[in-house]
Amino acid sequence: MKKIKSAAELNALQEELNARLDPNKPCIAICCGTGCMAHGTRNLVERFQQELADRQLTEKISLRRTGCHGFCERGPMVVLHPQKIFYQRIKVDDVPEIIDKTILGEEIIDRLLYRDPVTKEKVVHEYEVPFYKKQMRLVFGMNGMIEPTRIEDYLAIGGYGALAKVLTQGDPQAVIDDISAAGLRGRGGGGFPTGRKWNATRKAEGSPKYVICNADEGDPGAYMDRSLLEGNPHSVLEGMIIGAYAIGSSHGYIYVRNEYPLAVENITLAIDKAREMGLLGQDILGSGFDFDIVINRGGGAFVCGESSALFASIEGRAGEPRAKYVHATDKGLYDKPTCLNNVETWANVPLIINKGAQWYAGIGTEHSKGTKIFSLVGKINNTGLVEVPMGITLREIVFEIGGGIPKGRKFKAVQTGGPSGGCIPEAHLDIPVDFDELSKLGTMMGSGGMIVMDERNCMVDVAKYFLKFLEEESCGKCTPCREGIYQMRKILDRITNGEGKLEDLDTLEWMGQAIKDGSLCALGGSAPNPVLTTLRYFRSEYEAHIIDKKCPAGVCKALITYGIDPDKCTGCHACARVCPTGAATGEKKEVHQIDQEKCIKCGACYEACKFDAITIV
Partner 1 sequence: MSQTVTLTIDGRQVQAEAGTTLLEAARSVNIQIPHLCSNEELAPYGACRMCMVEIRQGQRTRLVASCIYEVEEGLEVQTVTERVLNVRRLVIELLLARNPTHPTLLKMAADLGIEKTRFEVEVKGCILCGLCVRTCREVVGVSAIGFEGRGTSRRVTTPFNEAPPDCIACGACATVCPVGVIPLKDKAGIRTIWKTDYPLQRCESCGRIIAPVKQLEYFAKITNQPLSHFTEHCVHCR
Ligand X SMILES: Cc1cc2nc3c(=O)[nH]c(=O)nc-3n(C[C@H](O)[C@H](O)[C@H](O)COP(=O)(O)O)c2cc1C
* Contact (CB, 8 A) for 154 and 162: no
Q: C-beta of 219: minimal distance to ligand SF4 in Å?
A: 15
Q: How many H helices and E strands in the chain?
A: 25, 19
520: contact with ligand SF4 by CB under 6 A: yes
418: contact with ligand SF4 by CB under 6 A: no
Given the complex with ligand SF4, which of 102 and 474 has the nearer CB atom?
A: 474
Region of 102-110, 156-164, 454-462, 521-529 interacting with ligand SF4 (CB under 6 A): 521-529
Binding to ligand X by CB under 6 A, coded x per residue (else -) over 203-242, reads -----------x-xxx------------------------
Nearest alpha carbon to residue 520 among 479, 470, 466: 479
Q: How far apart are CA 588 and CA 368, in angstroms?
A: 61
Q: How far apart are CA 302 and CA 593, in angstroms?
A: 46
Q: Binding residue for partner 1 (CB under 8 A) from 486, 498, 585, 615? A: 486
506: contact with partner 1 by CB under 8 A: no
User: Does residue 208 have a cis peptide bond before it, meaning omega lies within 30 degrees of 0?
Assistant: yes
Binding to ligand X by CB under 6 A, coded x per residue (else -) over 326-365, reads --------------xxx--x--------------------
Q: Which segments of 6-160 are extended strands (E)?
A: 27-31, 62-66, 78-81, 85-87, 114-115, 122-123
512: contact with ligand SF4 by CB under 6 A: no
Q: How far apart are CA 543 and CA 550, in angstroms?
A: 9
Q: How far apart are CA 566 and CA 571, in angstroms?
A: 9
Amino acid at 313: S
Given the complex with ligand X, which of 228 and 614 has the nearer CB atom?
A: 228
447: contact with ligand X by CB under 6 A: yes
472: contact with partner 1 by CB under 8 A: yes
Q: Binding residue for ligand SF4 (CB under 6 A) from 321, 337, 449, 552? A: 321
Residue partners of 310: CB distance under 8 A and separation at least 6: 212, 214, 216, 255, 298, 304, 319, 340
Q: C-beta of 472: minimal distance to partner 1 in Å?
A: 6
Residue 517 interacting entry, from ligand SF4, ligand X, partner 1, none, C-beta within 5 to 8 Å by type: partner 1
Burial of 124 (0-12, 13-18, 19+ CB in 10 A): middle
Residue 507 interacting entry, from partner 1, ligand SF4, ligand X, none, C-beta within 5 to 8 Å by type: partner 1
478: contact with ligand SF4 by CB under 6 A: yes
| 544 SS3 class | helix
Residue 418 falls in which region: left (phi positive, over 0), alpha (psi -120 to 50) or beta: left
* Contact (CB, 8 A) for 434 and 513: no
* Contact (CB, 8 A) for 380 and 410: no
Q: Binding residue for partner 1 (CB under 8 A) from 95, 301, 304, 453? A: 301
Question: CB count, 10 Å around CB of 20?
Answer: 10
Q: C-beta of 418: minimal distance to ligand X in Å?
A: 8
- Residue 172 main-chain phi, psi, to 5 deg: -55, -40
Q: C-beta of 567: minimal distance to ligand SF4 in Å?
A: 52
Per DSSP, 194 falls in state: H
Q: How far apart are CA 515 and CA 512, in angstroms?
A: 5
475: contact with partner 1 by CB under 8 A: yes
Region of 40-48, 422-430, 450-458, 505-513 interacting with partner 1 (CB under 8 A): 505-513
Given the complex with ligand X, which of 201 and 342 has the nearer CB atom?
A: 342
90: contact with ligand SF4 by CB under 6 A: no
Given the complex with ligand SF4, which of 37 and 312 has the nearer CB atom?
A: 312
Given the complex with ligand X, which of 48 and 260 has the nearer CB atom?
A: 260
Nearest alpha carbon to residue 45 among 25, 68, 63, 67: 63
Size of the site for partner 1 (CB under 8 A): 32
Given the complex with ligand SF4, which of 78 and 312 has the nearer CB atom?
A: 312
Residues lying near partner 1 in the complex (CB under 8 A) are found at 301, 318, 323-325, 471-480, 482-487, 490, 507, 510-511, 513-515, 517-520
Residues lying near ligand X in the complex (CB under 6 A) are found at 186-190, 192, 214, 216-218, 302-303, 305-307, 340-342, 345, 447, 521-523
Residues lying near ligand SF4 in the complex (CB under 6 A) are found at 303, 321, 474-478, 481-482, 519-521, 523-524
